[in-house]
Amino acid sequence: MGVEIVFLTENETIKAGEERRTPPLNISMYELKTVSLIGDYGFEVTIEVSDDGSNFHTYSSESATANQLYVKSFRDAFMWVRVKVKNGDTADHTLAYLAVKGLK
């Protein structure tokens, strides 16, 4: 048993005022779930969870710090997760890394 990457994207440009959202990710088999990202801007990070894969609600909403690793881990028994990253600036910025990982 070890950490598995459920979702990974790298070097993605998020245009000014826009957001990116992962697809719904099935995390039901993992005891510990971790979302981590780093970008060149203080993106707004929203973690949304669901028990059925269609009705999502906000689990966590925070601002990441530019050029620093953001990490949020949780053990709650949700079945699905998706992550929204919003660029609230008037300039385009780069999301260098976004990963959702699970530990069984």
Q: What is the pLDDT of residues 45-67, one digit of tens each?
A: 999 999 998 999 999 999 999 99
* 41 confidence band (pLDDT: 50, 70, 90): very high
Closest CA to 44 of 101, 89, 80: 89
Helices (H), the chain: none
Other beta carbons within 10 Å of 81: 27
Res 2: pLDDT? 86
Q: In order of start, what are the domains of the chain with their CATH numbers?
A: 3-103 (2.60.120.380)
Q: Is-above-0.85 flag for pTM?
A: yes
